[in-house]
Amino acid sequence: MSDCIIHVTGNWKPWSGVLGRQVDRLYWKMLIRSAWGENLTSDELIDKINDSASSTVMLPMYHHRGIQCVKRILRSVWLRIIGLFRIIRFFLAFTLCAVKDKGK
């Protein structure tokens, strides 16, 4: 196994973050059996996995529902902005009506 290579296609790579997918487990299992990982101590391996998991938390794009969360937040912000403009428009219209009535 010391001459094995794992090729992962696509944008996401197991070393970019831990998402709990099967390929994560396979990657770390093969790493410790390969020439790149055979001399790693258990502490070094834990540090590598921990660093990988930490980067997942820092990069929401790797979260499997991250896009939905961002879309929901943006929609909420947009609706609040629209609501604010409706309130401003209402008060402007009310003020203009009051000024017209006062001028009569």
Q: Write down the domain spans for the chain.
A: 1-59, 65-104
For residue 63, the model assigns a pLDDT of 52
Per the model's pLDDT, the better-predicted residue between 95 and 69 turns out to be 95
Q: Is the pLDDT of residue 87 over 80?
A: yes
For residue 104, the model assigns a pLDDT of 64
CA distance 73 to 100: 41
For residue 66, the model assigns a pLDDT of 64
At 2-59, the pLDDT tens digits run: 566 667 777 766 666 666 677 777 888 887 788 777 788 888 888 887 777 666 555 5
